[in-house]
Structure 1
Amino acid sequence: MKREGRGEQSAGPSRTEGLEEAVRQADPDRALCAGFLPASVRADVTALLAFHTELTRALAPARSAAIAGPMAGLIRLQWWRDVLEGVRTPDHALAPAILSALARGVFHRETLLRVLRAREAELNPEPEVSPWRQMMRDGAGGVQRAVGEALGVRDEAVLTRLEASGAAYGAGAMLRHWPHIQQSGRYLFPGETAALRQEGEAFLQSCDADTLPPAGRLAALPAVLAARDLARTSAQAGQPRGLGDRLAVMRAGWKAARMFQKSGEPAL
Protein backbone atom coordinates (compact mmCIF):
# COMPACT_ATOMS: atom_id res chain seq x y z
CA MET A 1 0.00 0.00 0.00
CA LYS A 2 1.35 3.38 -0.95
CA ARG A 3 2.32 5.56 2.01
CA GLU A 4 4.12 8.44 0.35
CA GLY A 5 3.42 12.09 0.96
CA ARG A 6 2.86 14.10 4.08
CA GLY A 7 -0.90 13.59 4.02
CA GLU A 8 -0.51 9.79 4.03
CA GLN A 9 1.90 9.44 6.90
CA SER A 10 0.85 7.42 9.92
CA ALA A 11 -0.27 9.39 12.92
CA GLY A 12 2.90 9.42 15.03
CA PRO A 13 3.39 10.02 18.75
CA SER A 14 3.39 13.81 18.32
CA ARG A 15 -0.06 13.74 16.71
CA THR A 16 -1.58 11.43 19.31
CA GLU A 17 0.15 12.88 22.36
CA GLY A 18 -2.41 13.24 25.10
CA LEU A 19 -5.13 11.45 23.12
CA GLU A 20 -4.80 8.13 24.92
CA GLU A 21 -5.32 9.70 28.33
CA ALA A 22 -8.21 11.80 27.05
CA VAL A 23 -9.86 8.70 25.57
CA ARG A 24 -9.33 6.74 28.79
CA GLN A 25 -11.14 9.50 30.66
CA ALA A 26 -13.99 9.95 28.16
CA ASP A 27 -14.46 6.37 26.94
CA PRO A 28 -12.82 3.97 29.42
CA ASP A 29 -14.60 0.84 28.18
CA ARG A 30 -13.50 1.12 24.57
CA ALA A 31 -10.06 2.35 25.66
CA LEU A 32 -9.62 -0.81 27.72
CA CYS A 33 -10.60 -2.96 24.73
CA ALA A 34 -8.29 -1.00 22.41
CA GLY A 35 -5.35 -1.76 24.67
CA PHE A 36 -5.26 -5.32 23.28
CA LEU A 37 -4.97 -4.21 19.65
CA PRO A 38 -1.60 -4.50 17.89
CA ALA A 39 0.63 -1.45 18.23
CA SER A 40 0.45 -0.91 14.46
CA VAL A 41 -3.18 0.21 14.66
CA ARG A 42 -3.52 1.48 18.22
CA ALA A 43 -2.78 5.13 17.43
CA ASP A 44 -5.34 5.17 14.62
CA VAL A 45 -7.99 3.51 16.79
CA THR A 46 -7.24 5.97 19.58
CA ALA A 47 -7.91 8.78 17.10
CA LEU A 48 -11.13 7.00 16.06
CA LEU A 49 -12.34 6.85 19.67
CA ALA A 50 -11.46 10.50 20.20
CA PHE A 51 -13.39 11.33 17.03
CA HIS A 52 -16.41 9.46 18.37
CA THR A 53 -16.13 11.36 21.64
CA GLU A 54 -16.10 14.67 19.73
CA LEU A 55 -19.24 13.71 17.86
CA THR A 56 -20.96 12.73 21.10
CA ARG A 57 -20.03 16.04 22.67
CA ALA A 58 -21.84 17.78 19.84
CA LEU A 59 -25.07 16.54 21.43
CA ALA A 60 -24.54 18.57 24.60
CA PRO A 61 -25.77 21.98 23.33
CA ALA A 62 -29.09 20.47 22.28
CA ARG A 63 -29.59 19.02 25.74
CA SER A 64 -28.68 22.19 27.61
CA ALA A 65 -30.30 24.86 25.43
CA ALA A 66 -34.02 24.36 25.00
CA ILE A 67 -34.37 27.40 22.74
CA ALA A 68 -31.60 26.39 20.34
CA GLY A 69 -32.95 22.86 20.13
CA PRO A 70 -30.79 20.50 18.06
CA MET A 71 -29.42 23.21 15.75
CA ALA A 72 -26.19 23.90 17.64
CA GLY A 73 -25.32 20.22 17.68
CA LEU A 74 -26.21 19.75 14.02
CA ILE A 75 -23.91 22.64 13.09
CA ARG A 76 -21.00 21.02 14.91
CA LEU A 77 -21.71 17.69 13.24
CA GLN A 78 -21.94 19.36 9.83
CA TRP A 79 -18.47 20.80 10.42
CA TRP A 80 -17.10 17.28 10.86
CA ARG A 81 -19.03 16.05 7.83
CA ASP A 82 -17.42 18.78 5.72
CA VAL A 83 -13.98 17.77 7.04
CA LEU A 84 -14.54 14.09 6.23
CA GLU A 85 -15.80 14.97 2.76
CA GLY A 86 -12.83 17.27 2.11
CA VAL A 87 -14.75 20.51 1.65
CA ARG A 88 -13.56 22.29 4.80
CA THR A 89 -10.12 23.13 6.17
CA PRO A 90 -9.39 20.58 8.91
CA ASP A 91 -8.52 23.18 11.56
CA HIS A 92 -9.05 20.89 14.52
CA ALA A 93 -6.24 19.15 16.42
CA LEU A 94 -7.81 15.74 15.82
CA ALA A 95 -8.69 16.16 12.14
CA PRO A 96 -5.23 15.45 10.65
CA ALA A 97 -5.02 12.07 12.38
CA ILE A 98 -8.46 11.07 11.12
CA LEU A 99 -7.79 12.26 7.58
CA SER A 100 -4.42 10.50 7.58
CA ALA A 101 -6.08 7.22 8.58
CA LEU A 102 -8.63 7.65 5.79
CA ALA A 103 -5.91 8.42 3.24
CA ARG A 104 -4.04 5.26 4.22
CA GLY A 105 -7.15 3.12 3.98
CA VAL A 106 -7.22 2.25 7.68
CA PHE A 107 -10.90 3.23 7.94
CA HIS A 108 -13.50 3.60 5.22
CA ARG A 109 -14.89 7.11 4.89
CA GLU A 110 -18.46 5.81 4.68
CA THR A 111 -18.04 4.02 8.00
CA LEU A 112 -17.10 7.25 9.77
CA LEU A 113 -19.94 9.08 8.02
CA ARG A 114 -22.32 6.45 9.36
CA VAL A 115 -21.06 7.10 12.89
CA LEU A 116 -21.72 10.79 12.28
CA ARG A 117 -25.21 10.09 10.90
CA ALA A 118 -26.05 8.21 14.08
CA ARG A 119 -25.34 11.31 16.15
CA GLU A 120 -27.47 13.38 13.75
CA ALA A 121 -30.27 10.84 14.17
CA GLU A 122 -29.99 11.18 17.94
CA LEU A 123 -30.62 14.91 17.62
CA ASN A 124 -33.73 14.20 15.53
CA PRO A 125 -35.02 10.99 17.11
CA GLU A 126 -37.88 8.96 15.71
CA PRO A 127 -40.00 7.25 18.39
CA GLU A 128 -39.85 3.85 16.70
CA VAL A 129 -37.62 0.84 17.27
CA SER A 130 -36.53 0.32 13.66
CA PRO A 131 -34.78 3.72 13.27
CA TRP A 132 -33.27 3.24 16.73
CA ARG A 133 -31.76 -0.09 15.64
CA GLN A 134 -30.17 1.57 12.62
CA MET A 135 -28.86 4.39 14.80
CA MET A 136 -27.20 1.84 17.07
CA ARG A 137 -25.68 -0.09 14.17
CA ASP A 138 -24.38 3.11 12.60
CA GLY A 139 -23.08 4.69 15.82
CA ALA A 140 -21.69 2.26 18.39
CA GLY A 141 -21.79 -0.40 15.71
CA GLY A 142 -19.90 1.75 13.23
CA VAL A 143 -17.10 2.30 15.75
CA GLN A 144 -16.47 -1.46 16.04
CA ARG A 145 -16.79 -1.91 12.29
CA ALA A 146 -14.04 0.70 11.90
CA VAL A 147 -11.86 -1.16 14.42
CA GLY A 148 -12.32 -4.27 12.30
CA GLU A 149 -11.33 -2.33 9.18
CA ALA A 150 -8.15 -1.21 10.95
CA LEU A 151 -7.37 -4.86 11.68
CA GLY A 152 -7.71 -5.73 8.01
CA VAL A 153 -11.21 -7.25 8.06
CA ARG A 154 -12.78 -6.99 4.61
CA ASP A 155 -15.43 -9.72 4.79
CA GLU A 156 -18.75 -7.86 4.80
CA ALA A 157 -20.46 -10.59 6.84
CA VAL A 158 -17.83 -10.27 9.56
CA LEU A 159 -18.01 -6.47 9.50
CA THR A 160 -21.79 -6.67 9.90
CA ARG A 161 -21.33 -8.89 12.94
CA LEU A 162 -18.87 -6.36 14.35
CA GLU A 163 -21.56 -3.70 13.95
CA ALA A 164 -23.82 -5.93 16.02
CA SER A 165 -21.15 -6.23 18.73
CA GLY A 166 -20.94 -2.44 18.98
CA ALA A 167 -24.72 -2.06 18.96
CA ALA A 168 -24.99 -4.66 21.73
CA TYR A 169 -22.41 -2.79 23.78
CA GLY A 170 -24.30 0.47 23.24
CA ALA A 171 -27.61 -1.09 24.26
CA GLY A 172 -26.02 -2.69 27.33
CA ALA A 173 -24.40 0.56 28.43
CA MET A 174 -27.71 2.34 27.90
CA LEU A 175 -29.45 -0.22 30.09
CA ARG A 176 -26.73 -0.08 32.75
CA HIS A 177 -26.89 3.72 33.01
CA TRP A 178 -30.63 4.10 32.25
CA PRO A 179 -31.61 6.40 35.18
CA HIS A 180 -28.47 8.51 34.77
CA ILE A 181 -29.00 9.01 31.03
CA GLN A 182 -32.67 9.79 31.55
CA GLN A 183 -31.70 12.67 33.81
CA SER A 184 -29.24 13.97 31.22
CA GLY A 185 -31.98 14.44 28.64
CA ARG A 186 -30.17 12.32 26.06
CA TYR A 187 -32.28 10.25 23.66
CA LEU A 188 -32.81 6.72 24.91
CA PHE A 189 -34.57 3.66 23.63
CA PRO A 190 -38.19 4.29 22.50
CA GLY A 191 -39.66 1.80 24.94
CA GLU A 192 -39.25 0.15 28.32
CA THR A 193 -36.10 -1.43 29.74
CA ALA A 194 -37.35 -4.98 29.17
CA ALA A 195 -37.65 -4.33 25.45
CA LEU A 196 -34.25 -2.62 25.41
CA ARG A 197 -32.71 -5.71 27.01
CA GLN A 198 -34.27 -7.89 24.31
CA GLU A 199 -32.88 -5.65 21.57
CA GLY A 200 -29.41 -5.78 23.10
CA GLU A 201 -29.54 -9.54 23.43
CA ALA A 202 -30.60 -9.81 19.77
CA PHE A 203 -27.59 -7.71 18.74
CA LEU A 204 -25.34 -9.90 20.87
CA GLN A 205 -26.71 -13.05 19.29
CA SER A 206 -26.21 -11.58 15.80
CA CYS A 207 -22.58 -10.91 16.64
CA ASP A 208 -21.88 -14.44 17.97
CA ALA A 209 -18.41 -13.26 18.97
CA ASP A 210 -17.07 -16.70 19.90
CA THR A 211 -17.27 -17.87 16.27
CA LEU A 212 -15.67 -14.80 14.70
CA PRO A 213 -12.26 -15.13 13.01
CA PRO A 214 -9.26 -13.91 15.07
CA ALA A 215 -9.33 -10.30 13.85
CA GLY A 216 -13.07 -10.16 14.39
CA ARG A 217 -12.83 -11.48 17.95
CA LEU A 218 -10.25 -8.83 18.75
CA ALA A 219 -12.44 -6.09 17.28
CA ALA A 220 -15.54 -7.34 19.11
CA LEU A 221 -14.18 -7.15 22.68
CA PRO A 222 -16.91 -4.69 23.79
CA ALA A 223 -19.32 -7.63 23.39
CA VAL A 224 -17.82 -8.98 26.62
CA LEU A 225 -19.11 -5.94 28.49
CA ALA A 226 -22.39 -6.05 26.57
CA ALA A 227 -23.11 -9.58 27.81
CA ARG A 228 -22.43 -8.55 31.41
CA ASP A 229 -24.45 -5.31 31.21
CA LEU A 230 -27.44 -7.01 29.60
CA ALA A 231 -27.52 -9.61 32.37
CA ARG A 232 -27.97 -7.14 35.25
CA THR A 233 -29.94 -4.14 36.46
CA SER A 234 -29.11 -0.44 36.37
CA ALA A 235 -27.86 -0.43 39.98
CA GLN A 236 -24.46 0.77 38.70
CA ALA A 237 -25.86 3.81 36.88
CA GLY A 238 -23.27 6.57 36.80
CA GLN A 239 -20.63 4.40 38.49
CA PRO A 240 -17.28 3.25 37.06
CA ARG A 241 -16.67 -0.33 36.02
CA GLY A 242 -15.95 -2.88 38.73
CA LEU A 243 -12.97 -5.20 38.82
CA GLY A 244 -15.02 -8.12 37.54
CA ASP A 245 -15.87 -6.33 34.30
CA ARG A 246 -12.29 -5.29 33.70
CA LEU A 247 -10.94 -8.78 34.39
CA ALA A 248 -13.48 -10.29 31.99
CA VAL A 249 -12.26 -7.97 29.22
CA MET A 250 -8.64 -8.68 30.07
CA ARG A 251 -9.11 -12.46 29.88
CA ALA A 252 -10.95 -12.21 26.57
CA GLY A 253 -8.49 -9.62 25.27
CA TRP A 254 -5.39 -11.67 25.99
CA LYS A 255 -6.96 -14.73 24.38
CA ALA A 256 -8.09 -12.80 21.29
CA ALA A 257 -4.71 -11.08 20.93
CA ARG A 258 -2.87 -14.43 21.06
CA MET A 259 -5.22 -15.91 18.47
CA PHE A 260 -4.68 -12.89 16.21
CA GLN A 261 -0.90 -13.12 16.51
CA LYS A 262 -0.92 -16.84 15.72
CA SER A 263 -3.21 -16.33 12.74
CA GLY A 264 -0.65 -14.13 11.01
CA GLU A 265 -3.41 -11.83 9.75
CA PRO A 266 -1.85 -8.47 8.82
CA ALA A 267 -3.33 -5.39 10.44
CA LEU A 268 -3.33 -2.28 8.23
Structure 2
Amino acid sequence: MPETPAPSSLSGIAALARARDPDRFLCALFAPAAKREALFTLIGFNHELARAREAARTPLLALIRLQWWRDVVAEAAAGKPPRLHEVAGPLHAAITAGLLEPAALLALADAREAEAEEEGMPTEAAFQAYLRGTAGGFAVAVGRLLGASGAALVALQEAGVAYGLAGVLRSVPALAGQGRCLLPAETLARHGLSAEAAAAAPGAAGPVVAALAAAGARPAEARRLGLGRLVTAAGLPLVLARRDLRRLRLGRAVPPGRGLGDRLAVIGAGLLGRI
Protein backbone atom coordinates (compact mmCIF):
# COMPACT_ATOMS: atom_id res chain seq x y z
CA MET A 1 0.00 0.00 0.00
CA PRO A 2 1.37 3.45 -0.80
CA GLU A 3 2.30 5.37 2.31
CA THR A 4 -0.21 8.09 3.15
CA PRO A 5 1.81 11.29 3.47
CA ALA A 6 1.57 13.32 6.65
CA PRO A 7 -0.20 16.65 6.08
CA SER A 8 2.97 18.51 7.02
CA SER A 9 4.91 16.73 4.26
CA LEU A 10 2.50 17.57 1.44
CA SER A 11 3.40 20.08 -1.24
CA GLY A 12 1.07 23.02 -1.67
CA ILE A 13 -0.70 21.46 -4.65
CA ALA A 14 -0.99 18.08 -2.92
CA ALA A 15 -2.55 19.70 0.14
CA LEU A 16 -5.00 21.56 -2.10
CA ALA A 17 -5.95 18.33 -3.90
CA ARG A 18 -6.50 16.58 -0.59
CA ALA A 19 -8.71 19.38 0.73
CA ARG A 20 -10.73 20.04 -2.43
CA ASP A 21 -11.10 16.56 -3.94
CA PRO A 22 -10.38 13.90 -1.31
CA ASP A 23 -11.81 11.10 -3.47
CA ARG A 24 -9.35 11.63 -6.28
CA PHE A 25 -6.54 12.45 -3.88
CA LEU A 26 -6.91 9.01 -2.27
CA CYS A 27 -6.92 7.36 -5.69
CA ALA A 28 -3.85 9.36 -6.73
CA LEU A 29 -1.81 7.82 -3.92
CA PHE A 30 -1.74 4.60 -5.97
CA ALA A 31 -0.02 6.35 -8.90
CA PRO A 32 3.73 5.99 -9.36
CA ALA A 33 5.54 8.45 -7.09
CA ALA A 34 7.15 10.25 -10.03
CA LYS A 35 3.72 11.12 -11.46
CA ARG A 36 1.87 12.07 -8.29
CA GLU A 37 2.66 15.80 -8.21
CA ALA A 38 1.44 16.18 -11.80
CA LEU A 39 -1.68 14.20 -10.89
CA PHE A 40 -2.31 16.41 -7.85
CA THR A 41 -1.91 19.38 -10.17
CA LEU A 42 -4.48 17.95 -12.58
CA ILE A 43 -6.86 17.46 -9.66
CA GLY A 44 -6.34 21.08 -8.62
CA PHE A 45 -6.92 22.33 -12.17
CA ASN A 46 -10.09 20.27 -12.48
CA HIS A 47 -11.35 21.66 -9.18
CA GLU A 48 -10.82 25.23 -10.39
CA LEU A 49 -12.82 24.48 -13.53
CA ALA A 50 -15.56 22.76 -11.55
CA ARG A 51 -16.00 25.73 -9.22
CA ALA A 52 -16.06 28.32 -12.02
CA ARG A 53 -19.87 28.44 -12.11
CA GLU A 54 -20.26 28.05 -8.35
CA ALA A 55 -17.90 30.95 -7.62
CA ALA A 56 -19.39 33.27 -10.26
CA ARG A 57 -22.51 35.39 -9.75
CA THR A 58 -23.57 35.02 -13.38
CA PRO A 59 -23.01 32.56 -16.24
CA LEU A 60 -20.99 35.21 -18.08
CA LEU A 61 -18.56 35.52 -15.18
CA ALA A 62 -18.23 31.73 -15.13
CA LEU A 63 -17.25 31.78 -18.80
CA ILE A 64 -14.68 34.47 -18.07
CA ARG A 65 -13.16 32.29 -15.32
CA LEU A 66 -12.94 29.36 -17.72
CA GLN A 67 -11.24 31.56 -20.30
CA TRP A 68 -8.71 32.65 -17.68
CA TRP A 69 -7.71 29.02 -17.23
CA ARG A 70 -7.53 28.47 -20.98
CA ASP A 71 -5.13 31.41 -21.12
CA VAL A 72 -3.03 29.87 -18.34
CA VAL A 73 -2.72 26.66 -20.36
CA ALA A 74 -2.00 28.45 -23.64
CA GLU A 75 0.67 30.64 -22.04
CA ALA A 76 2.42 27.63 -20.54
CA ALA A 77 2.34 25.84 -23.90
CA ALA A 78 3.83 28.96 -25.53
CA GLY A 79 6.66 29.12 -22.99
CA LYS A 80 5.45 32.30 -21.29
CA PRO A 81 6.05 32.84 -17.54
CA PRO A 82 3.54 31.29 -15.11
CA ARG A 83 0.82 33.35 -13.49
CA LEU A 84 0.89 33.84 -9.73
CA HIS A 85 -1.71 31.36 -8.52
CA GLU A 86 -1.52 28.27 -6.31
CA VAL A 87 -2.67 26.02 -9.16
CA ALA A 88 -1.43 27.98 -12.18
CA GLY A 89 2.21 27.70 -11.05
CA PRO A 90 2.29 23.88 -10.71
CA LEU A 91 0.16 23.58 -13.85
CA HIS A 92 2.70 25.61 -15.83
CA ALA A 93 5.49 23.36 -14.54
CA ALA A 94 3.63 20.15 -15.45
CA ILE A 95 2.85 21.41 -18.95
CA THR A 96 6.39 22.60 -19.66
CA ALA A 97 7.75 19.29 -18.35
CA GLY A 98 5.57 17.46 -20.89
CA LEU A 99 3.55 15.65 -18.22
CA LEU A 100 0.16 17.21 -19.00
CA GLU A 101 -1.15 17.75 -22.52
CA PRO A 102 -2.46 21.27 -23.25
CA ALA A 103 -5.12 19.96 -25.66
CA ALA A 104 -6.61 17.69 -22.99
CA LEU A 105 -6.63 20.52 -20.44
CA LEU A 106 -8.35 22.88 -22.87
CA ALA A 107 -10.96 20.22 -23.61
CA LEU A 108 -11.73 19.96 -19.88
CA ALA A 109 -12.32 23.72 -19.77
CA ASP A 110 -14.53 23.58 -22.88
CA ALA A 111 -16.68 20.84 -21.35
CA ARG A 112 -17.40 22.98 -18.29
CA GLU A 113 -19.14 25.61 -20.41
CA ALA A 114 -22.28 23.44 -20.27
CA GLU A 115 -22.59 24.36 -16.58
CA ALA A 116 -22.86 28.03 -17.53
CA GLU A 117 -25.71 27.52 -19.98
CA GLU A 118 -28.90 29.23 -18.86
CA GLU A 119 -31.06 26.30 -19.96
CA GLY A 120 -28.97 23.76 -18.04
CA MET A 121 -28.99 20.25 -19.53
CA PRO A 122 -31.87 20.20 -22.04
CA THR A 123 -31.52 16.59 -23.18
CA GLU A 124 -30.12 13.29 -22.00
CA ALA A 125 -27.68 13.40 -24.92
CA ALA A 126 -26.38 16.79 -23.75
CA PHE A 127 -26.06 15.42 -20.22
CA GLN A 128 -24.05 12.41 -21.43
CA ALA A 129 -21.81 14.66 -23.52
CA TYR A 130 -21.21 16.81 -20.45
CA LEU A 131 -20.25 13.77 -18.35
CA ARG A 132 -17.95 12.45 -21.07
CA GLY A 133 -16.19 15.77 -21.40
CA THR A 134 -15.82 16.57 -17.70
CA ALA A 135 -15.34 13.51 -15.47
CA GLY A 136 -14.74 11.29 -18.50
CA GLY A 137 -12.18 13.69 -19.90
CA PHE A 138 -10.47 13.92 -16.52
CA ALA A 139 -10.14 10.13 -16.34
CA VAL A 140 -8.62 10.06 -19.82
CA ALA A 141 -6.16 12.81 -18.89
CA VAL A 142 -5.09 10.83 -15.82
CA GLY A 143 -4.74 7.71 -17.96
CA ARG A 144 -2.51 9.51 -20.46
CA LEU A 145 -0.37 10.89 -17.65
CA LEU A 146 0.13 7.37 -16.30
CA GLY A 147 0.88 5.84 -19.71
CA ALA A 148 -2.47 4.34 -20.77
CA SER A 149 -3.42 4.19 -24.43
CA GLY A 150 -5.92 2.69 -26.86
CA ALA A 151 -8.74 0.63 -25.38
CA ALA A 152 -7.67 1.47 -21.83
CA LEU A 153 -8.45 5.14 -22.45
CA VAL A 154 -11.90 4.27 -23.82
CA ALA A 155 -12.61 2.20 -20.70
CA LEU A 156 -11.33 4.97 -18.45
CA GLN A 157 -13.61 7.51 -20.08
CA GLU A 158 -16.64 5.30 -19.41
CA ALA A 159 -15.47 4.83 -15.81
CA GLY A 160 -15.17 8.60 -15.52
CA VAL A 161 -18.71 9.03 -16.83
CA ALA A 162 -19.97 6.76 -14.03
CA TYR A 163 -18.08 8.74 -11.41
CA GLY A 164 -19.32 12.02 -12.87
CA LEU A 165 -22.92 10.80 -12.90
CA ALA A 166 -22.68 9.77 -9.25
CA GLY A 167 -21.20 13.17 -8.44
CA VAL A 168 -24.03 15.08 -10.12
CA LEU A 169 -26.65 12.93 -8.40
CA ARG A 170 -24.98 13.33 -5.01
CA SER A 171 -24.90 17.09 -5.54
CA VAL A 172 -28.60 17.63 -6.33
CA PRO A 173 -29.38 19.16 -2.90
CA ALA A 174 -26.22 21.30 -2.86
CA LEU A 175 -26.86 22.61 -6.36
CA ALA A 176 -30.47 23.34 -5.44
CA GLY A 177 -29.13 25.54 -2.67
CA GLN A 178 -27.51 27.62 -5.42
CA GLY A 179 -30.71 27.65 -7.46
CA ARG A 180 -29.21 25.24 -10.00
CA CYS A 181 -30.05 21.83 -11.43
CA LEU A 182 -27.89 19.74 -13.77
CA LEU A 183 -30.35 16.89 -14.28
CA PRO A 184 -31.48 16.56 -17.92
CA ALA A 185 -34.71 18.45 -18.57
CA GLU A 186 -36.26 15.71 -20.69
CA THR A 187 -35.74 13.15 -17.90
CA LEU A 188 -37.27 15.53 -15.39
CA ALA A 189 -40.22 16.12 -17.72
CA ARG A 190 -41.01 12.40 -17.81
CA HIS A 191 -41.47 12.65 -14.05
CA GLY A 192 -43.58 15.79 -14.30
CA LEU A 193 -40.81 18.13 -13.19
CA SER A 194 -38.82 21.04 -14.57
CA ALA A 195 -35.28 22.07 -13.67
CA GLU A 196 -36.71 25.05 -11.81
CA ALA A 197 -39.03 22.82 -9.77
CA ALA A 198 -36.19 20.42 -8.93
CA ALA A 199 -33.99 23.32 -7.82
CA ALA A 200 -36.79 24.70 -5.66
CA ALA A 201 -37.64 21.33 -4.08
CA PRO A 202 -34.78 18.85 -4.60
CA GLY A 203 -36.58 16.12 -2.71
CA ALA A 204 -39.12 15.96 -5.52
CA ALA A 205 -36.32 14.87 -7.87
CA GLY A 206 -35.75 11.69 -5.85
CA PRO A 207 -37.36 9.38 -8.45
CA VAL A 208 -35.29 11.00 -11.21
CA VAL A 209 -32.09 10.54 -9.21
CA ALA A 210 -32.96 6.90 -8.54
CA ALA A 211 -33.77 6.23 -12.20
CA LEU A 212 -30.55 7.82 -13.46
CA ALA A 213 -28.54 5.99 -10.80
CA ALA A 214 -30.07 2.65 -11.78
CA ALA A 215 -29.32 3.28 -15.46
CA GLY A 216 -25.73 4.24 -14.66
CA ALA A 217 -25.17 1.45 -12.15
CA ARG A 218 -25.80 -1.35 -14.63
CA PRO A 219 -22.83 -0.63 -16.94
CA ALA A 220 -20.66 0.46 -13.98
CA GLU A 221 -21.22 -2.89 -12.23
CA ALA A 222 -20.64 -4.86 -15.41
CA ARG A 223 -17.48 -3.01 -16.41
CA ARG A 224 -14.17 -4.44 -15.23
CA LEU A 225 -11.08 -2.42 -16.05
CA GLY A 226 -8.12 -4.50 -17.16
CA LEU A 227 -5.51 -1.88 -16.35
CA GLY A 228 -1.84 -2.41 -15.63
CA ARG A 229 -0.71 -1.66 -12.09
CA LEU A 230 0.93 1.62 -13.12
CA VAL A 231 -2.42 2.88 -14.43
CA THR A 232 -4.61 1.59 -11.59
CA ALA A 233 -4.98 5.02 -9.99
CA ALA A 234 -6.77 6.32 -13.09
CA GLY A 235 -9.60 3.82 -12.70
CA LEU A 236 -10.05 3.75 -8.93
CA PRO A 237 -12.82 6.40 -8.84
CA LEU A 238 -15.04 3.77 -10.46
CA VAL A 239 -14.95 1.87 -7.15
CA LEU A 240 -16.59 4.83 -5.43
CA ALA A 241 -18.99 5.40 -8.32
CA ARG A 242 -20.35 1.86 -8.01
CA ARG A 243 -20.91 2.27 -4.28
CA ASP A 244 -22.57 5.68 -4.67
CA LEU A 245 -24.85 4.59 -7.52
CA ARG A 246 -26.01 1.58 -5.51
CA ARG A 247 -27.02 3.88 -2.65
CA LEU A 248 -28.68 6.42 -4.90
CA ARG A 249 -30.76 3.93 -6.89
CA LEU A 250 -32.17 2.69 -3.56
CA GLY A 251 -33.07 6.23 -2.53
CA ARG A 252 -30.37 6.37 0.13
CA ALA A 253 -28.35 9.52 0.73
CA VAL A 254 -24.60 9.46 0.14
CA PRO A 255 -22.75 10.75 3.22
CA PRO A 256 -20.91 14.03 2.58
CA GLY A 257 -17.66 12.53 3.84
CA ARG A 258 -16.25 9.14 2.94
CA GLY A 259 -16.70 6.46 5.55
CA LEU A 260 -14.29 3.68 6.36
CA GLY A 261 -16.06 1.28 3.99
CA ASP A 262 -15.56 3.53 0.97
CA ARG A 263 -11.91 4.15 1.80
CA LEU A 264 -11.21 0.46 2.35
CA ALA A 265 -12.90 -0.41 -0.94
CA VAL A 266 -10.55 1.96 -2.81
CA ILE A 267 -7.49 0.73 -0.90
CA GLY A 268 -8.36 -2.91 -1.51
CA ALA A 269 -8.89 -2.36 -5.23
CA GLY A 270 -5.69 -0.34 -5.44
CA LEU A 271 -3.62 -3.00 -3.68
CA LEU A 272 -5.05 -5.85 -5.77
CA GLY A 273 -5.09 -3.88 -9.02
CA ARG A 274 -8.65 -5.07 -9.68
CA ILE A 275 -11.31 -2.53 -10.55
SS of match in other structure, 2:262: helix
Shift of the 28–82 alpha-carbon distance from structure 1 to 2, 3 Å rule, reads same
How far 1:39 sits from its partner (Å)? 0.4
Alpha-carbon distance between aligned partners in 2 of 1:138 and 1:49, rounded to the nearest angstrom: 15
The answer to whether residue 172 in structure 2 is matched with residue 178 in structure 1 is: yes
Deviation track 1:136-192 (CA, whole Å, cap 9, x = no partner) reads 11111111111111111122x221211111111111122234333332334422132
Between the two proteins, what is the percent identity of the paired residues? Answer: 40
How far 1:200 sits from its partner (Å)? 2.5
Q: 2:267 aligns with which of 240, 250, 259?
A: 250
Q: Calculate the TM-score normalised by the size of structure 1.
A: 0.79
Alpha-carbon distance between aligned partners in 2 of 1:35 and 1:95, rounded to the nearest angstrom: 22
- 1:163 matched residue in structure 2: 157
SS of match in other structure, 1:232: helix
Contact 2:156 2:235 in 1 (8 A): yes
Shift of the 168–113 alpha-carbon distance from structure 1 to 2, 3 Å rule, reads same
SS of match in other structure, 1:127: coil
Contact 2:166 2:241 in 1 (8 A): yes
Alpha-carbon distance between aligned partners in 1 of 2:214 and 2:253, rounded to the nearest angstrom: 19
The answer to whether residue 71 in structure 2 is matched with residue 82 in structure 1 is: yes
How far 1:216 sits from its partner (Å)? 4.3
What is the number of residues matched between the two proteins? Answer: 235
- 2:31 matched residue in structure 1: 37
Q: Calculate the TM-score normalised by the size of structure 2.
A: 0.77
Alpha-carbon distance between aligned partners in 2 of 1:251 and 1:101, rounded to the nearest angstrom: 30
The answer to whether residue 92 in structure 2 is matched with residue 99 in structure 1 is: yes
| AA matched with 2:240 | L
SS of match in other structure, 1:241: coil
How far 1:56 sits from its partner (Å)? 1.7
Contact 1:224 1:248 in 2 (8 A): yes
Alignment of 1:96-245 (within 5 A): 96-124=89-117, 125-155=120-150, 157-190=151-184, 191=187, 192-201=208-217, 204=220, 208-233=223-248, 235-237=252-254, 239-245=256-262
* More displaced 10-residue stretch of structure 1: 219-228 or 104-113: 104-113
Q: Please list every run of 5 or more consecutive structure 2 residues that lacks an aligned counterpart in the other structure.
A: 1-9, 188-207
Alpha-carbon distance between aligned partners in 1 of 2:254 and 2:243, rounded to the nearest angstrom: 14
How far 1:198 sits from its partner (Å)? 4.1
Contact 2:217 2:246 in 1 (8 A): no
| AA matched with 2:74 | E
Alpha-carbon distance between aligned partners in 1 of 2:69 and 2:233, rounded to the nearest angstrom: 28
SS of match in other structure, 2:216: helix
Query: What root-mean-square deviation, in Å, do the aligned CA atoms of Structure 1 and Structure 2 show?
Result: 2.4
Contact 2:49 2:112 in 1 (8 A): yes
Shift of the 17–213 alpha-carbon distance from structure 1 to 2, 3 Å rule, reads closer
| AA matched with 2:90 | A
| AA matched with 1:108 | E
How far 1:49 sits from its partner (Å)? 0.4
The answer to whether residue 60 in structure 2 is matched with residue 71 in structure 1 is: yes
| AA matched with 2:129 | Q
The ranges of structure 1 where at least 4 consecutive aligned residues each deviate by more than 6 angstroms after the TM superposition are none
How far 1:255 sits from its partner (Å)? 1.6
Alpha-carbon distance between aligned partners in 1 of 2:228 and 2:257, rounded to the nearest angstrom: 31
Shift of the 163–238 alpha-carbon distance from structure 1 to 2, 3 Å rule, reads same
| AA matched with 1:149 | R
Shift of the 209–40 alpha-carbon distance from structure 1 to 2, 3 Å rule, reads farther
| AA matched with 1:73 | A
Contact 1:36 1:253 in 2 (8 A): yes
* More displaced 10-residue stretch of structure 1: 85-94 or 112-121: 85-94
Alpha-carbon distance between aligned partners in 2 of 1:187 and 1:110, rounded to the nearest angstrom: 29
